[in-house]
A and B are shown apart, each in its own frame.
Chain A
Amino acid sequence: MVQFLAQTFVNGINVGALYGLAAVGLSLIFGVMRILNVAHGEFLMVGGYIGFWLFKLYGVDPFMGLPLVGIFLFLIGIVFYKVVFSRVAKFHEEVKLKNSLLIAFGLYLIFPQIAMVLWTADERAISPKYSGQAFDLLGVRFGYVPLWNVCVAVVIVLAMYLFLNKTYFGKSLRGTAESWKAAKLSGINIEWTFMITFGLGISLAGIAGVLIALTQELTPVMGMPWTLKALIVVVLAGMGSIVGAFVAGLILGIVEAVSAIFMGPYTIAIGLLIFLIILVLRPRGLFGRA
């Protein structure tokens, strides 16, 4: 029994780390730019496919290929910001946010279609040689790939934390998140900051996508379910904490794993339940400020 619970716990962490990583990018973009990127999962999907094709066509090990995917999605993010989202910058703030939302919604509809045309609706997965391998510890099974995933996710989140708190540019991102006006008056180039932030957030989504493709299927329509998970995690964590978002992701993963025991395929409804509970009891989330 204890073993069973421990296994459930470990499974929860494995998925939760991915939830957390997906949420970190979303949280960053929303925190700094107030754009709720409901197309976040779509970029995650694109990253996954790129990782897949790098592996399939050029034999690039998915973990080794992460920096490549990261850079590529960073550039894609910047392009999308410049071409699409920055054009709403000329509107007033309220309209700006609504329009960003709608644009992201449009992208959410477009991406899967394009993906289906490019890569067909077939399910794929990244399966390197070490894919199914695992080791047992005290009766609990630890898959190598999920374990690596968790490690990578932790390292990335740590790197983000150091970036935001110990580097000058990172601090300017945090400042921008607090107040655009104060940032502008401090000499921070806000447009540039937005562009970099968006690229960074999208890059994180892409990396998450590769890790996900290592343990789950890759399909053109996988975007929205992941966007949703990320949204729920962000609400659970509260605004303004990157590390909090990751931890909340882990928590969601564990809660889902435990609920799956008695809820089976309806476990997804847990997300809605959590969302409502947070809204009613603690709107600022577990780790949120203000």
Chain B
Amino acid sequence: MPKNWKSFSIFGGTIALLALLPLFTNRSDVLTWSCLTLQYILLSQSWNIIGGYAGQVNLGHAAFFGLGALTTRYLWLAGLPFPVSLLSGAFIATVFALLIGIPAFRLRGIYFVIGTLVLAEILKVVIDTRFPVASALSTETLLTYSLIPRYYLSLMGAVLSVIAVYFISRSRLGLGMMATREDEDAAKTSGVSILQNKLIAFAISTFLAGLAGGIFAFYMVAIQPGYVFSPIWTFDSVVIVFVGGIGTLIGPIIGSVFFVLLKQWLSLHLPGGSHLAVFGVLFILVVLYMPDGFIEAIRRFGKMMTLGRKPAVQGR
């Protein structure tokens, strides 16, 4: 595939550079910022799989992030080796996903939307009630806390998610997903197994989300259990995907970078949580006027300016 050489080498080069980053800098703010961005890439790509490629709107994504986070955290702090805890977290997330997915996907789309929303909210309330106290790392763990392994873990997670999306988009599964997204009835008559496609997409999506949660749980010094179930996590994923370009490989990557930068900037200049309101408005504007993504719209606008005429509108 000679024409893909360029993209592969760019991708490989970027990973190499990122892998070498800790060697070049010691600054914890750069590492923190990069760590968060990479985690967001993982989380948003995971939503991209179900929301972008499979076209099923999951408004309860935080549930799976949270399940992964709490499971990983408690198993790890209980003494289990971290890799086991991490994978268990992701696995639990997927189990809950199938709990909702299997009954919901057989029915109309809104049942999936309601189901994921209900799951997320109920988990949040139950966890908040049952575990109101924040979990903090013990002093000895704190002493050995280092950003570096967490950075590499986040990098691996992000790379994994990009590879997953890459292979899905080129596989038969991906084709089936996208066909289902575009026209479910037509897909069915073409022999696509709707239920299977949606379930597999959902399973992969929530597994990665659980992974993101687990990595986050490893990364954070102290966690308030209810926090990882906050709808913020769903919203962040969705905004990133939409801003970057839904259903594309590179969209969530660009979106994550843009998002983290913007969030940093906004929280410096705006009080409390009101950056949320700004993101909310931005999100709505993107949905209404720039469905292909904010970044894409800027690109097209730029092209329009330089070429002096409107480029052909992409058909959908």
Contacts and interface: CB of A to CB of B under 8 A. Distances in A.
Do A and B touch (CB < 8 Å)?
Answer: yes
Interface string B285-316: 00110010000000000000000000000001
Interface stretch (B5-13, B14-22, B117-125, B187-195): B117-125
Nearest to B232: A109
Given A109-B276, A110-B281, A283 B107 contact: yes
A152 to B, nearest CB: 27
Interface residues on A, range: 35 or more
Interface stretch (B108-116, B143-151, B215-223): B108-116
A260 to B, nearest CB: 13
A155 interface: no
B280 A106 contact: yes
B117 A107 contact: no
B78 to A, nearest CB: 23
Given A110-B277, A235-B111, A283-B111, A102 B57 contact: yes
Contact of A272 (B119, B272, B283): B119
B209 interface: no
Interface string B86-116: 0000000000000110011001011101110
A64 interface: no
A109 B280 contact: yes
A151 to B, nearest CB: 30
Contacts of A265: 129
Contact of B103 (A30, A231, A279): A279
B273 interface: yes
A36 B276 contact: no
B284 interface: yes
A231 B238 contact: no
Contacts of A117: 274
B103 A269 contact: no
Nearest to B115: A275
A259 B183 CA distance: 42
A266 B119 CA distance: 13
A84 to B, nearest CB: 7
A158 interface: no
Interface stretch (A13-21, A69-77, A93-101, A170-178): A93-101
Contacts of B126: 266, 268-269
A253 B171 CA distance: 47
Given A106-B284, A107-B280, A101 B57 contact: yes
Contact of B276 (A92, A95, A110): A110
A149 B17 CA distance: 64
Contact of B129 (A91, A110, A266): A266
B277 A224 contact: no
Contacts of A38: 59, 113, 117
A116 B276 CA distance: 12
Contact of A271 (B99, B122, B130): B122
A272 to B, nearest CB: 5
Contact of B288 (A88, A105, A113): A88
A114 B281 CA distance: 12
A109 B231 contact: yes
B279 interface: yes
A235 B107 CA distance: 12
Contact of A113 (B99, B242, B277): B277
A275 B118 contact: yes
B144 to A, nearest CB: 37
Contacts of B103: 276, 279-280
6 contacts: A105-B59, A107-B280, A109-B279, A228-B122, A235-B111, A272-B122
Interface of A: 30, 36, 38, 84, 87-88, 91-92, 95, 97-99, 101-103, 105-110, 113-114, 116-117, 224-225, 228, 231-232, 235, 265-266, 268-269, 271-272, 275-276, 279-280, 283
Given A99-B287, A106-B281, A266-B130, 18 more contacts: A30-B110, A84-B284, A101-B57, A103-B284, A105-B235, A106-B284, A109-B280, A110-B277, A113-B277, A228-B121, A235-B111, A235-B114, A265-B129, A268-B122, A272-B119, A275-B114, A276-B100, A276-B115
